[in-house]
Structure 1
C-alpha cells in the first residue's frame, strides 16, 4: 500500500479530533501532519495493545531503530516512509521522535505518578513534544516568534494530555493505570478503590474539578503565548484547541461521569468547531 494512503486511512479510522483539525491544510503540510499523526498512533498502540511487557519493549526498541533509519533516510514503516517523503517531515529532529518513544515507554514502568511534577515529564514527552513537532509542520513566521510558538505548542500539548487524562480516568484505571497524581488523590480523600469501583463521591467531584481547572489554565496559557502574527499558520492547533476545550467543558457540565462513561463529541460537531476556527482563527 502507498505509505500516504496508509497514513490517511490510519488517521481517518481513529475518529480523532486531530484529524478534523488538519483537513483544511495545504496538501504538503496535510500529508506531513497525517504521517506524523499515524506514527504517533503506531507508538501509542504498542503499549495499549501489547499485554506482555517483553513484547512491548521489543516493539519500542524496533521503533528506536526505525527512527535511526528515518534519520539516515531509509525508513521501513509506512508511517515513517510517508513522513520522510514530505519536506516538513524530513526536517523533524530524530531526538524529538525518540522523546515520544521514551514517553510511551514510561507507561510500562509508571502505572502511577506520585505528584504532578513527575506526571509533567510524561505529558511533555507524549504531548508537549508532539505539539512542538506539529507546530513546526504547520509553519508560519520564524525568527522572533520561535520561542513563543514553542511555548504555545508545549502548553497546548499539555492541555490536550490533561484533557485526555480527565476523559479516560475510568478506562485507564481498568487497564491498571492511574494518571491522577497520588498526592492529589490523598489531598481530596479519594482512594484507588473508589476509582476501581466507580464510586462517584463528592470527594471525587472535587478532585476532578481541580483537574479541570488546571487543564483550563493551560489552554489559557497556550493561547496567551501565541503571537498574533503566528495565529493564521497555527490554525490547525487552534482548531484542536476549540474541539478539546469544548470536550473538557462538556465533561465538566456532565459532572465528570468519567468513571463509567467516555464523553465525546459527534463528528459533525468536531467538523463544525474545526471549520469555524479555521475561518475565524
Structure 2
C-alpha cells in the first residue's frame, strides 16, 4: 500500500503558518524546504488518516525503505525525487539519514500508542519527530553548527506542545488525546471529559489544565526563541523561518488561552492580517 509514485506535490495552504515561514526563506532554498515540509506531513498524517494499524504500518515501512533507497541514489516518490535531485539543495545540506528515519520510526510507534503516561515520554516522542523535522529544516537552510541543531531540535518540543493544545478538541473527536495521564491526574481532569465534552461546557477543572498546557508550551517556545537569538548572526538569519513559525505558534496559544473552553469545541485560528503582521515583524 505505498503512496502513488505519480502523486503531485501538495501545496502549502496560503496564509497558513507554514506558508509564512516559507515566505521567510531565501527564494533559492524554498523548493527544497517546501519538499521537506511536504514529506514530513506526508509521513505524519499516516497514523491520523489510516484507521487500520496494519495498513498504516505498511505505508510507514514503505517510506522507511524509500528513504534508504533515496540515500542510495534511487528515489521513486516525487517528494524524495525533489529533495535528492542533483544540486538541489546545495551539496551537503540534505538532512542526514538518521533525521529522516527518526520521523518514520516515531510515526510507527504512534500507530500503536494514542496516549502518553507522562510528559517525559511525550517529550521524547516529540523530539524524535517534530524535533527531527526542525533539525532537517536547519540543514536545508544552511545552519549546521551543533548549537544551531540542538536549539532547533529543542524547538520541536515547543511547537509540538502548541500544536497539541491548538488541536485538542479536533484530535479528541478523532479519539486522540495528547495530554499525558500524569497531567490529567495532576489537574483532576478525566480523559472522557476531553474526549466527549458536554456541548458548550468544559470539565470543572479545565481552567487549571488549560493554564498548565498554555504556560508549558509558551515557556518552551520562549526558551527556544531566546536560544535562537544567541546564535551567531549568520545562523540567526538562516533560521528566520523557524523563528517566524515559533512566534506564530506563541500568538496562537495565547489566543487559545484567552478563549477558555472554545478549543474543546471548535478550531481557533489567528486572522490572516494578524499572521501576516507577526511574520513581517519577525522577518
Q: TM-score, with normalisation over the residues of structure 1?
A: 0.89
* 1:39–1:80 CA contact under 8 A, matched in 2: yes
Q: Deviations over 1:95-151 (max 9, x none)?
A: 1101001111222111111000111121112211111111221224x5xxx222122
Task: Give 1:22-101 correspondences, 5 Å limit.
Answer: 22-85=22-85, 86-88=88-90, 91-101=94-104
TM-aligned CA deviation for residue 191 of structure 1: 0.5
Match of 1:165 in 2: 164
* 2:194–2:203 CA contact under 8 A, matched in 1: no
Deviation larger for 70-79 or 10-19? 10-19
Count of residues in correspondence between the two structures: 269
Task: Give 1:1-281 correspondences, 5 Å limit.
Answer: 6-7=8-9, 10-13=10-13, 16-85=16-85, 86-88=88-90, 91-140=94-143, 146-198=145-197, 199-226=201-228, 227-229=231-233, 230-278=235-283
Q: TM-score, with normalisation over the residues of structure 2?
A: 0.88
SS class of match (2:260): coil
SS class of match (2:151): helix
TM-aligned CA deviation for residue 14 of structure 1: 7.6
Distance in 2, matches of 1:52 and 1:236, equals 35
* 1:135–1:234 CA contact under 8 A, matched in 2: yes
| Structure 1 pair 30–62 and aligned structure 2 pair: CA distance change class (3 A) | same
Deviation larger for 176-185 or 45-54? 45-54
Q: Deviations over 1:160-195 (max 9, x none)?
A: 100011111112122222110101101111011211
* 1:151–1:222 CA contact under 8 A, matched in 2: no
* 1:11–1:37 CA contact under 8 A, matched in 2: no
* 2:12–2:18 CA contact under 8 A, matched in 1: no
| Structure 1 pair 133–56 and aligned structure 2 pair: CA distance change class (3 A) | same
Q: Deviations over 1:51-97 (max 9, x none)?
A: 11111111001101110111111111111111112225862212110
| Structure 1 pair 157–14 and aligned structure 2 pair: CA distance change class (3 A) | farther
| Structure 1 pair 72–90 and aligned structure 2 pair: CA distance change class (3 A) | farther
Q: Flag as ranges the 4+ runs of structure 1 deviating above 3 A.
A: 13-16
Structure 1 stretches lacking a partner, 5+ long: none
Q: CA RMSD in A?
A: 2.0
Structure 2 stretches lacking a partner, 5+ long: none
| Structure 1 pair 248–13 and aligned structure 2 pair: CA distance change class (3 A) | same
Distance in 2, matches of 1:115 and 1:104, equals 18
| Structure 1 pair 250–211 and aligned structure 2 pair: CA distance change class (3 A) | same
TM-aligned CA deviation for residue 15 of structure 1: 5.7
Deviation larger for 49-58 or 170-179? 170-179
